[in-house]
């Protein structure tokens, strides 16, 4: 008799821990995404998130092949991507979206080929594409917390320079800043974000985590900082609403979060139009 009562209780506690960890991980990611997402939108670099995500797939494959934690493989690949892009765009021979497209799809294709050729590698493609935020471990959360902390500190420290670099790279340089440093800080922070968020929301939806809350915040904001704050709130609300929805209906978690961000985008645009 005692067994029949304890098993459901244990299950309930375990289930709650799943949800709690997912909420924590999602919230941390939403906070780190807020300033980065705004910068991505302002700089028209939405494609960078996609491109780094695609490169991340090769990172996953290499990580599995070399027996490294997946996040290390992804971080290495995303970092390499950031460096290459920072350097390649300096030359201005190609538009940035062309460079990103070349590297992203090369990395994606190589990743898929490597994953298929290595005999011991079992790449769960669906999981790589859509993530598994509900399976995040406490250890995973600590890694995400540390990574997000680094992102927020670096962005906070360089905030004025990043805004100047966004407004006019020439103005930044004339006033004594470095364009290369500006690009490196931004792309490396973005690469780190991709590595952190990859396993939670998957390759397909990383850019959505960045762009949707920022875009939704735009009609309601009058300053860059306001836009970051509002997009953080929208990101957090989306994570809570999306995970609860996923919990109740069994819908996939990552996409559910993004669906709520999309809703926020529509509402804020309607609301912003009324304000005007």
Partner 1 sequence: MQLPLILAKGVEVRAGARRLLHDVDLKVDAGEIVTVVGPNGAGKSTLLRVIIGAVPLSAGQITRREGLRIGYTPQKIQMEKTMPITVSRFLSLAGHLPKGARTNALEKTDVASLREAQMADLSGGELQRVLLARALLRKPDLLILDEPTQGLDQPAEARFYQLLADVRAESGTAVLMVSHDLHVVMAKADRVICLNGHVCCSGAPAQVSADPGYRELFGARAGLAFYEHHHDHSHESCDHD
CA distance 30 to 227: 14
CA distance 159 to 147: 18
Residue 15 or 167: the one with the smaller Cβ distance to partner 1 is 167
User: Which residues have a Cβ under 8 Å from the Cβ of 93 and sit 6 or more positions away?
Assistant: none
Q: Does 88 bind partner 1 (CB under 8 A)?
A: no
Choose the stretch contacting partner 1; rule: CB under 8 A; options: 10-18, 100-108, 140-148, 220-228: 220-228
Q: Does 124 bind partner 1 (CB under 8 A)?
A: no
Name which position in 109, 113, 116, 167 contacts partner 1 (CB under 8 A): 167
How many residues interact with partner 1 (rule CB under 8 A)? Answer: 26
CA distance 214 to 40: 9
Q: At closest approach, how far in Å is the CB of 162 from partner 1?
A: 10
Q: Site residues for partner 1, window 36-75 (CB under 8 A)?
A: 41-44
**DSSP letter string, 27-56:** HHHHHHHHHHHHHHHHTT-HHHHHHHHHHH
Cα 236 versus chain centre, distance: 14
Q: At closest approach, how far in Å is the CB of 189 from partner 1?
A: 18
Residue 10 or 160: the one with the smaller Cβ distance to partner 1 is 160
Q: Site residues for partner 1, window 172-191 (CB under 8 A)?
A: 173-175, 179
**DSSP letter string, 129-142:** HH--GGG--HHHHH
**Residues near partner 1 (CB under 8 A):** 41-44, 93, 160, 163-164, 166-171, 173-175, 179, 215, 218, 221-224, 226-227
């Amino acid at each position: 008799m005692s067994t029949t009562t304890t098993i459901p209780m244990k299950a309930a506690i375990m289930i709650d821990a799943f949800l709690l960890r997912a909420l924590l991980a999602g919230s941390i990611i939403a906070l780190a995404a807020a300033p980065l997402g705004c910068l991505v939108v302002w700089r028209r670099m939405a494609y960078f998130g996609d491109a780094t995500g695609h490169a991340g797939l090769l990172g996953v494959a290499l990580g599995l092949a070399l027996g490294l934690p997946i996040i290390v493989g992804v971080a290495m690949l995303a970092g390499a991507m950031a460096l290459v892009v920072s350097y390649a765009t300096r030359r201005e021979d190609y538009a940035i979206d062309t460079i990103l497209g070349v590297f992203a799809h090369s990395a994606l294709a190589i990743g898929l080929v490597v994953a298929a050729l290595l005999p011991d590698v079992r790449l769960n493609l669906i999981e790589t594409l859509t993530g598994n935020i509900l399976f995040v471990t406490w250890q995973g959360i600590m890694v995400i917390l540390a990574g997000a902390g680094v992102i927020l500190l670096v962005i906070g420290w360089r905030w004025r320079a990043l805004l100047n670099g966004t407004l006019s790279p020439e103005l930044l340089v004339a006033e004594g800043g470095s364009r290369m440093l500006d690009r490196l800080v931004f792309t490396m922070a973005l690469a780190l974000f991709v590595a952190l968020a990859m396993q939670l929301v998957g390759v397909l939806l990383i850019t959505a985590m960045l762009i949707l809350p920022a875009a939704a915040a735009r009609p309601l904001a009058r300053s860059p900082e306001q836009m970051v704050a509002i997009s953080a709130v929208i990101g957090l609300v989306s994570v809570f609403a999306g995970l609860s929805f996923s919990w109740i209906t069994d819908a996939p978690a990552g996409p559910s979060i993004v669906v709520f961000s999309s809703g926020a985008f529509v509402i804020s645009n309607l609301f912003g139009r009324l304000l005007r």
